[in-house]
Amino acid sequence: MSIAWQLRSPHRALAAAIAALLLAAAYLSHFSTAVIGIPAAAAMAGATALARDPREARAWRRLALALAAALVLSYALYYAHFHDVYARTLSRVGSEGAANSFVATLAEHSDSKAVTMGRFVLVNYGGGALLLAAIGAWAALRRDWRDGWTLQLSAFASVVLIFLVLGAFTPIEMRAPLAAHPLVAVFGAFGVTALWDTRRLPLRIAAVVCVLLVVWTGAASLAAVLG
């Protein structure tokens, strides 16, 4: 999406074609990627129309065109052959109810769904990364919420957040935590910069501590995987 958005004339058609091919490849890679990626791309295209820069705002047409082409291509190559699977899946989701969601299952061993969900998020991202990402998102919106990059990232984050909530309280689980990782990384990096640029010693110390917590969480996760 960013390729189609950033490249200027005379490369607009090429940019839209490359973006369409990359989107189609992503949608064909995994069903969850398509389910989250399609509304995310649509939200990003719609949000781009609100950009303060008129040139950025006009790019929403290229983004929408790239998305439409990717949908047609991925559907024709793969998804058109599994209508019966979609029908069975929707029927099962409707009949099972929220009691079979991942968080609901884990909640049997916890005090509440909220506690379980909080633990799940902390284990996946770590407190340092989540704090930096929250600070970065706030700083980006405060700086200029109509900046093109801020709009696109915010739109993407909104869709991922919706799927995280769906995964927590319904049987619909589409690996949204995986989609959230790059968002946490991007906003987290912006958060570090925002804290450091204040030139206030306590906030700079806080930035260093959060980065160290991110490194610790990553090292602990790697050690757990390696056994």
Final residue in a domain of this structure, among 12, 46, 81: 81
Torsion of CA 178, 182, 185, 187, to 10 degrees: -120
In this structure, are 76 and 101 located in the same domain?
no
| C-alpha to C-alpha distance for 166 and 184, rounded to whole angstroms | 19
In this structure, are 7 and 61 located in the same domain?
yes
Q: How far is CA 160 from CA 8, 95, 108, 154, 193, in A?
A: 29, 24, 26, 10, 24
Would you state the pLDDT for residue 40?
A: 94
Would you state the pLDDT for residue 31?
A: 86
DSSP state of 107: G
Domain with 120 in it: 97-227
List of residues 6+ apart from 198 with CB closer than 8 A: 204
Would you state the pLDDT for residue 23?
A: 93
Final residue in a domain of this structure, among 81, 111, 146: 81
In this structure, are 113 and 166 located in the same domain?
yes
In this structure, are 54 and 143 located in the same domain?
no
DSSP assignment of 12-71: HHHHHHHHHHHHHHHHHH-HHHHHHHHHHHHHHHHHHTT-SSHHHHHTHHHHHHHHHHHH
Q: What's this model's pTM, rounded to 2 decimal places? A: 0.80
In this structure, are 43 and 143 located in the same domain?
no
Would you state the pLDDT for residue 83?
A: 76
Final residue in a domain of this structure, among 81, 110, 127: 81
| C-alpha to C-alpha distance for 227 and 224, rounded to whole angstroms | 5
DSSP state of 200: -
In a domain, 88, yes or no: no
Q: What is the pLDDT along the chain (227 residues), one digit of tens a residue?
A: 665 555 555 667 787 888 899 999 999 998 888 989 999 999 999 999 999 988 888 888 888 999 999 999 999 998 888 778 767 766 765 555 545 555 555 545 455 555 666 677 787 888 999 999 999 999 999 999 999 889 999 999 999 999 888 877 776 677 788 888 999 999 999 999 999 999 999 999 999 999 999 999 989 888 888 87
Other residues' Cβ atoms within 10 Å of the Cβ of residue 185: 16
The secondary element (H helix, E strand) that includes residue 153 is: helix 148-169
With CA atoms as reference, report the closest residue to 141 among 155, 129, 127: 155
